[in-house]
Chains A and B, each alone.
Chain A
Amino acid sequence: MAYSDYKFFLENDNNPFILFNAEKRIVYLNTAAEFLLGRVSKYDLYAMCIEHAPKAYGSKMTYLNLRYDDLSFYGITVGYQDDEYIGIRLYQSVKNRQPTAKELTKFIDTDINTLLETSISLVAMQEQFDIKLMIDMDIPEFKISQNDFFKIMRKCFNSFHSGSKLNISLKLRVGETIYVKNKRCKLVKLEIKTQNERDCSEDQELERLCENNFIDYLADEKKIRLLIPML
């Protein structure tokens, strides 16, 4: 007997899938799409659907690099079988870097609040920043490479112009986890925002450094956001 409940697989797919009706309303979305919609509006996604839709009934895959907050995609498929519904599926880029056992030895139990406050004290001695700090004292200790964390913070702060007003926040990211070395890890979000434009020339280097520490790095002209796994 053929198994026919394909929806189950769609529901649990890591790649977001959304089905719109002709009135631009969402009639179905899977779990991954729910996370996506926390980062991008449905109108933007619908607009992308229309832009990349095939000329006739059927489906069309387009390769393009998309990044919404911490989610990145390497392509989309847009398809429709009638004039009533149109669907879009986004293909998530995979970060397939897992730490070696040797690499993990540099991660030691650390209070990230203390580490962050020390980094701020250090930068305050060298640069004139107007810093507003919001931390979460309930974040428990977790494994961090202390040397790398200081290095990342040094480079982050270097990218902001002296005299800038910085809003720094550190909090637990609720409801999201990542797997590192087969261990499900909660995430801590560290964000540094400014009103002035920052120097983005070192962003690639920062991203590489973060990747070595399994930290997701996202930055634009006015913000740096780190998602740090609680190893």
Chain B
Amino acid sequence: MIKFIAESTQLVNIVKSLQLTKKFFVSSLIVGEAYSGKKSVARHVLPDAPLVDGENLNNILDVLQRHDEVIINNFHKIANFSLLNFDNKRIIATALYQPKDPKVDELFGYIYTLPPLRERLDDAQALANIFIQKAKQTLSLSHEVFINIKDLDLNENSKSLEKSIYKKLVFSDIDQKDIEEIMYDFFLEHLEGNDDYKKYLPLFEKPLIEAGLKKYKSQLKLAGILGINRNTLRKKANEYGL
């Protein structure tokens, strides 16, 4: 289990607000994208509360009968909001969006919007550091790794962040032999047509020219480095849209 982190002002304020209202019977809704940390916030504030899912309304109603503190995940999936009664309960619900049913606004004392990780770079960086340590352990890597948060994929919040960290770490540790092995496996699976040499040549050429242009910033210089004619290089670069 990953420890709870809150570095960005937005998240810190939401957590503080939830902690402040915790002593009252107040129901709060946290709205935000998938994997943006809503459930972790709820669990951090109400560590002992039972967690139920919006897809199972009967279970929610049953748990509400028996508990004063409840976390409801996927609140937007609830089929009939009018069956809910949060009087004298501490509820933290999480949802991808605020359902348009006016009953929803009536149920909650507070409705918070948790911005996605790409708008909370302080949280993203702190989370990335944790993921890097975890990935290094899993991959048995001992060398230091420096990853810029801007080079990581935050489109799907923590899910894509973790995945992109694993990718970066794996890539940082591979050598020519690994690349050959990867390509070998790939070709073994994909070779099947009549014109596959032409089809798969970009797999090698495109990253070679792209990285070369980034590194030397001049086609003339890169042509010299690669030992090919500069007209050939220009033609190839145009072909790959570089």
Contact = CB atoms under 8 A, between A and B. Distances in A.
Interface of A: 105-106, 108, 110, 115, 118, 121-122, 125-126, 145-151, 154
A155 B16 CA distance: 20
B109 A147 contact: yes
Interface of B: 13, 16-17, 20-21, 24-27, 86-88, 105-106, 108-110
Nearest to A148: B109
B88 A106 contact: yes
B20 A118 contact: yes
12 contacts: A108-B88, A115-B24, A118-B20, A121-B20, A125-B13, A147-B86, A147-B87, A147-B108, A148-B109, A150-B26, A151-B106, A151-B110
B20 A108 contact: no
A154 B109 contact: yes
Given A121-B20, A122-B21, A150 B109 contact: yes
A106 B87 contact: yes
Contacts, number: 47
Contact of A150 (B87, B88, B110): B110
A118 B24 contact: yes
A52 to B, nearest CB: 40
A208 to B, nearest CB: 10
Nearest to B105: A151
A105 B87 contact: yes
Nearest to A205: B105
Contacts of B108: 147, 151
Q: Which 6 A-B pairs have the closest CB atoms?
A: A150-B109, A106-B87, A125-B13, A146-B24, A147-B109, A146-B25
Contacts of B26: 146-147, 150
A212 to B, nearest CB: 9
A228 B87 CA distance: 19
A192 to B, nearest CB: 18
Contacts of B88: 105-106, 108
A122 B25 contact: no
B87 A122 contact: no
A108 B13 contact: no
Given A105-B88, A126-B13, A154 B25 contact: no
A125 B106 CA distance: 22
Contacts of B21: 118, 122, 150
B229 to A, nearest CB: 62
B185 to A, nearest CB: 52
